């Protein structure tokens, strides 16, 4: 590199040859990927189902159980309500599915609740949807992993005391896999998802066949019934509460609408068909499980899941088919958690790009994934698991409110969109925030579909909030607005900052500053001090050295040495009767700043000792650091550390 010449606006470009070195994280999460390595591939319907359905389908593993858990409080008579409640939930599922069909066709570029709300309802609803979704992704991880551990514990009861440890390890494992970057490559998703679907249909199919043929008995050796808190008799409140718990079956249904761009063309059509398949499979399995639960007299228990009781009754014992069902269920639950690991950081980065979350979330790590988001999710989910002892039943009251809030906002946004479309001229197109509105004759019908869906989910959300209020829903009801407020506070900060720093209406800095005054604190006079003095004199001719006198002997030494080595620079000695160093210096600088002229810049040059070994820092007062952090808050003062590196004598000898 030659000496740069002063060309007008010379701009050079070159590629950094820097290649990150091998390291531990390298081994754990794989070699760094270049930005150019980002994949651009699309998938078909069968693989798409596997990729996006795990969250929705896996909820069959706990939805029935949590209905039963509420009803158990009223005694076994109440168990007859499981199936009717399940039918109501499947009807709700159908309504949401039809409503989301329209979203998928209207947003071929991906229509998550955040985007649909932002485009059609404005910033506040969008941030509400964002807060709701982020909260629920965290809960998806906590609930799914806890439910997965419950399956394992059902099959291997000796592991029961280690629930929390297993769950936290599982979160850590999924985190590592995601930091490595998941290649959404079909097989990795297809095998566990289809394995689960096959095992569950086998279980439910054989179960119903045996039930019809009369050979299906009751659960042998049922586990101890767990009653959270008993109530007397069956009330509307109890049934609504059970219904609310069951609606967790719907969590994850929105996943496909987020990921439309991943599908082959025609992507909206393919995504729509996949959504219908998914809902049909989900509805069938859920109804089947709920029906059979009643048939075999399965019991709500923290020790053994409904799935485990069902499988060992249908397959008459804990054989290979039983274990297949359990492991299939566990796997799909872990896949569901994995889905949240893809969605949370992506939504976090989207909101951060919009300036509502810290910018750090937009940073893609060495493997091209949003590492900060992944790590944040893992930590919060692990804390939840520890706090709630990996119990699905304890976590469930917090869960799904957010999902239904986002369902409601998203569908209401769609309804509003149809309303706008209905008011366009025929053939007219309106491009709004990047999405194209085009007149549609059927706008009234479509608006009704989305509007009805929105109303249904809104009602469910209220049912949720009321019936589960005392058990934990209150927390989410407080948390969501707090999060929204935080998002806006962050946004205001970024916005103001950009305004203040903007060059748009900027007339340039005031007149060029020409005087430069340099202050050099000197605690003792040695080679390091002289280096700093030389640097100070390189910056300006106006250098003042300042010595804070704490010890009279030391000060005398400094004075003597300065006469020899000070190169004629003025030295001011400040007596510090209270043996403080930083404060008197700050006070002195304060004086200088006050008397500063308009065209004057002040620089404080601090000699900083850099030891060759890190622990040596413990042997030195960190005055340079203290001074810098104090001076950073003074306007118009620049602090420069002039490092002096000292190698130990024997090290030096070693090198030569």
Site for its own copies in 635-654 (CB under 8 A): 635, 637-650
Nearer to its own copies, 9 or 436 (CB): 9
Backbone angles phi, psi at 568, to 5 degrees: 75, 10
DSSP symbol at 502: -
Q: Does 632 bind its own copies (CB under 8 A)?
A: yes
Give me the residue label for tokens 């419950």: 150
Please answer whether residues 546 and 522 qualify as being in contact, where contact means their C-beta atoms are separated by less than 8 angstroms.
yes
- The encoded tokens of residue 197 equal 């679907």
Cross-strand pairs, 517: 542, 602
Residue 636 Cβ vs its own copies, minimum distance, rounded to whole Å: 9
Angstrom CA distances, 450 to 384, 425, 446, stand at: 34, 22, 6
Cα 216 → chain centroid: 45
Question: Sign of the C-alpha dihedral, residues 158, 161, 163, 166?
Answer: negative
Residue 33 Cβ vs its own copies, minimum distance, rounded to whole Å: 8
Give the interface segment with its own copies, choosing from 82-90, 217-225, 299-307, 500-508 (CB under 8 A): 500-508
DSSP symbol at 214: T
Region 469-498 residues binding its own copies, contact defined as CB under 8 A: 490, 492-494, 496-498
By CB under 8 A, how many residues form the interface with its own copies? 119
What's the rounded Cα separation, in Å, for the pair 455 and 414?
A: 12
Q: Does 523 bind its own copies (CB under 8 A)?
A: no
Please answer whether residues 217 and 296 qualify as being in contact, where contact means their C-beta atoms are separated by less than 8 angstroms.
yes
Nearer to its own copies, 433 or 579 (CB): 579
Region 334-363 residues binding its own copies, contact defined as CB under 8 A: 358-360, 363
Nearer to its own copies, 470 or 620 (CB): 620
Please give the helix or strand (H or E) that residue 568 lies within, else none. Answer: none
Angstrom CA distances, 363 to 348, 465, 512, stand at: 11, 36, 37
Give the interface segment with its own copies, choosing from 145-153, 414-422, 440-448, 513-521 (CB under 8 A): 513-521
Residue 557 Cβ vs its own copies, minimum distance, rounded to whole Å: 11
Q: Pick one of 3, 212, 236, 598: the residue that binds its own copies (CB under 8 A).
A: 3
Nearer to its own copies, 307 or 624 (CB): 624
Apex CA 566: angle with CA 561 and CA 568, to 5°?
A: 135
Nearer to its own copies, 187 or 580 (CB): 580
Q: Are strands 429-432 and 435-438 parallel, antiparallel or unpaired?
A: antiparallel
Give me the residue label for tokens 């097989």: 187
Region 35-74 residues binding its own copies, contact defined as CB under 8 A: 35-36
Region 565-594 residues binding its own copies, contact defined as CB under 8 A: 565-566, 568, 570-580, 583-584, 587-588, 591-592
Class of residue 381 by CB neighbours under 10 A (exposed 0-12, middle 13-18, buried 19+): buried
Region 10-39 residues binding its own copies, contact defined as CB under 8 A: 10-20, 32-36
Residue 480 Cβ vs its own copies, minimum distance, rounded to whole Å: 21
Give the interface segment with its own copies, choosing from 279-287, 309-317, 324-332, 555-563 (CB under 8 A): 555-563
Q: Does 221 bind its own copies (CB under 8 A)?
A: no
Q: Pick one of 174, 608, 626, 656: the residue that binds its own copies (CB under 8 A).
A: 608
Give me the residue label for tokens 């030494």: 557
């Amino acid at each position: 590199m030659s000496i740069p010449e002063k060309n007008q606006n010379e701009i050079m470009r070159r590629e950094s040859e820097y290649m990150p070195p091998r390291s531990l994280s390298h081994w754990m999460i794989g070699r760094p990927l270049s930005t150019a390595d980002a994949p651009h591939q699309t998938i078909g319907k069968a693989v798409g189902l596997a990729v996006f359905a795990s969250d929705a389908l896996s909820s069959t593993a706990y939805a029935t159980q949590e209905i039963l858990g509420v009803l158990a409080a009223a005694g076994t008579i109440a168990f007859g309500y499981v199936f009717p409640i399940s039918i109501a939930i499947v009807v709700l599922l159908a309504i949401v599915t039809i409503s989301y069909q329209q979203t998928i066709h209207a947003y071929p570029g991906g229509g998550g609740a955040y985007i649909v709300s932002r485009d059609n309802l404005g910033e506040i609803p969008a941030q509400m949807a964002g807060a709701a979704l982020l909260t629920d992704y965290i809960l998806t991880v906590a609930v799914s992993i806890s439910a997965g551990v419950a399956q394992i514990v059902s099959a291997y009861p000796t592991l029961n005391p280690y629930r929390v440890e297993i769950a936290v390890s599982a979160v850590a494992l999924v985190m590592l896999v995601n930091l490595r970057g998941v290649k959404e490559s079909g097989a990795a998703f297809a095998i566990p998802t289809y394995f689960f679907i096959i095992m569950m249909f086998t279980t439910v199919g054989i179960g119903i066949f045996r039930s019809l043929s009369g050979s299906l008995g009751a659960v042998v050796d049922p586990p101890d019934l767990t009653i959270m808190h008993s109530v007397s008799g069956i009330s509307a409140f109890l049934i609504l509460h059970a219904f609310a718990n069951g609606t967790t079956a719907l969590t994850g249904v929105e996943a496909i609408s987020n990921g439309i761009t991943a599908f082959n063309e025609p992507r909206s059509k393919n995504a729509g068909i996949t959504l219908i398949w998914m809902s049909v499979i989900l509805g069938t399995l859920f109804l089947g499980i709920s029906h059979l639960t009643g048939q075999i007299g399965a019991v709500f228990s923290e020790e053994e899941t409904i799935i485990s009781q069902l499988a060992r009754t249908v397959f008459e014992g804990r054989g290979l088919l039983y274990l297949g069902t359990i492991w299939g269920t566990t796997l799909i639950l872990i896949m569901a958690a994995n889905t949240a690991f893809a969605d949370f950081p992506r939504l976090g980065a989207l909101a951060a790009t919009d300036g509502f979350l810290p910018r750090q979330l937009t940073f893609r790590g060495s493997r091209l994934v949003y590492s900060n988001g992944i790590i944040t999710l893992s930590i919060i989910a692990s804390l939840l698991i520890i706090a709630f002892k990996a119990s699905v039943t304890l976590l469930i009251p917090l869960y799904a409110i957010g999902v239904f809030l986002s369902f409601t906002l998203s569908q209401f946004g769609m309804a509003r969109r149809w309303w706008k479309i209905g008011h366009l001229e025929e053939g007219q197109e309106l491009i709004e925030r990047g999405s194209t509105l085009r007149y549609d004759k059927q706008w009234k019908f479509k608006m009704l579909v989305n509007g009805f869906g929105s109303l249904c989910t809104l009602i469910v959300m209220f049912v949720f909030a009321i019936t589960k209020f005392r058990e934990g829903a209150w927390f989410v009801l407080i948390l969501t607005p707090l999060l929204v407020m935080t998002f806006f506070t962050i946004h205001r900060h970024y916005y103001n900052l950009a305004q203040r720093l903007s060059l748009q209406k900027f007339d340039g800095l005031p007149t060029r500053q020409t005087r430069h005054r340099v202050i050099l604190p000197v605690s003792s006079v040695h080679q390091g001090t002289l280096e700093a003095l030389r640097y100070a004199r390189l910056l300006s001719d106006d250098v003042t050295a300042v010595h804070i006198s704490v010890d009279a002997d030391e000060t005398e030494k400094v004075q003597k040495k300065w006469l020899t080595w000070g190169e004629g620079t003025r030295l001011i000695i400040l007596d510090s009767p209270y043996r403080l160093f930083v404060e008197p210096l700050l006070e002195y600088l304060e004086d200088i700043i006050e008397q500063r002229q308009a065209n004057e810049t002040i620089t404080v040059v601090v000699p900083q000792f850099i030891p060759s070994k890190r622990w040596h820092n413990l042997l030195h007062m960190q005055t340079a650091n203290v001074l810098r952090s104090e001076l950073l808050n003074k306007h118009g003062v620049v602090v420069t550390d002039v490092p002096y590196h000292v190698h130990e004598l024997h090290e030096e000898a070693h090198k030569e």
